[in-house]
Amino acid sequence: MCGVSGLHVETVGAGPPLVLLHGWAMHGGLFAALVPALARRFRVHVVDLPGHGHSAPLAAYSLDAVVGTLAQRFAREETPLAILGWSLGGTIALRWARLESDRVTRLVLVSTTPRFVAGADWAPAMNETTLRRFGDELRVAYRLTLQRFLSLQVQGSDEGRAALGELRQQLFARGEPAPAALAAALEVLATADLRDDVPGIAAPALIVTGDRDALTPSAAGAWLARTMPAARHVDIAGAAHAPFLSHRAEFDAAVADFLDAR
């Protein structure tokens, strides 16, 4: 179904609300394998982020504009939200939790970093030139660039080939994202720096990383866990950027233990 500002959200299950936010260039369908088990305990809201999947793009795309769209869509929920965010979705979840601490009361942050690009005072990240190259290449070879990006997401993982196949199968299952929307979202990744936000995020959080992740190194997740007031860190051995696809047993066990805790 579509809601606020053309935001596509699929809802299934009953219980406390749990919002799933995907990564750049993907859509909510990537979480399909996770939903049945989660829906037995939660009312699961699977979101296509603006400009991705079935959701319309925003006229002016920014991190706070995306958060505002999501906050408006879920404002009618009667109980606080738990959010599971992966990669770009994790960045959005961090900012949402900072801006609406009374609404967002539990976080699962998967392959998430407060800053995607490296700097003089921030080492566990990608080179900015590498990240921005995706934007340049999108304009030249759109599909090939997205396929390359997917390959990076499972690079080095023990079960990377199977995970890559699932990612590629899902990539265009909901149509082709608009290149302009992807470029705008990539700019968010290139410029966002939420390190000052993190100490003020009081919601209990589970930080899930893969020790072979080349996009958001596990050291960034370890920093989040040290800096957030109520966070724990699970680093999955042999996993890269999509541990929920490549290492389902370890991922499911960690998330179930955290979400069921009171």
65-85: average pLDDT = 94
Q: For residue 1, is pLDDT > 60?
A: no
Q: What is the pTM of this model?
A: 0.92
The CA-based angle 248-253-259, given to 5 degrees, is: 120
Active site residues: 87, 213, 241
How much is the pLDDT for 131?
Answer: 83
How much is the pLDDT for 169?
Answer: 72
The DSSP bridge pattern shows strands 43-48 and 205-210 to be unpaired
The DSSP bridge pattern shows strands 8-12 and 43-48 to be antiparallel
In 3D space, the residue among 111, 86, 101 whose CA is nearest the CA of residue 22 turns out to be: 86
How much is the pLDDT for 36?
Answer: 94
Give every CB contact of residue 84 below 8 A, 6+ residues apart in sequence: 18, 19, 20, 21, 93, 107, 108, 110, 255
The mean pLDDT of the chain is 89
Residue spans of the domains in the chain: they are 4-260
What percentage of residues in the chain have a pLDDT greater than 70? Answer: 89
- Name the more confident of 78 and 142: 78
How much is the pLDDT for 230?
Answer: 97
Least confident of 2-16, 96-110, 244-258: 2-16
- Name the more confident of 142 and 124: 124
How much is the pLDDT for 156?
Answer: 58
Burial 23-50 (b: 16+ CB within 10 A, else e): bbbbbbbbbeebbeebbeebbbbbbbbb
How does residue 70 score in pLDDT terms, banded at 50, 70 and 90? very high
Quickly name the fold that domain 4-260 has: Rossmann fold (3.40.50)
The DSSP bridge pattern shows strands 17-21 and 8-12 to be unpaired
Check if the beta carbon of residue 108 is closer than 8 Å to that of residue 206. Answer: yes
Please give the Cα distance from 262 to 260 (Å, whole number).
6
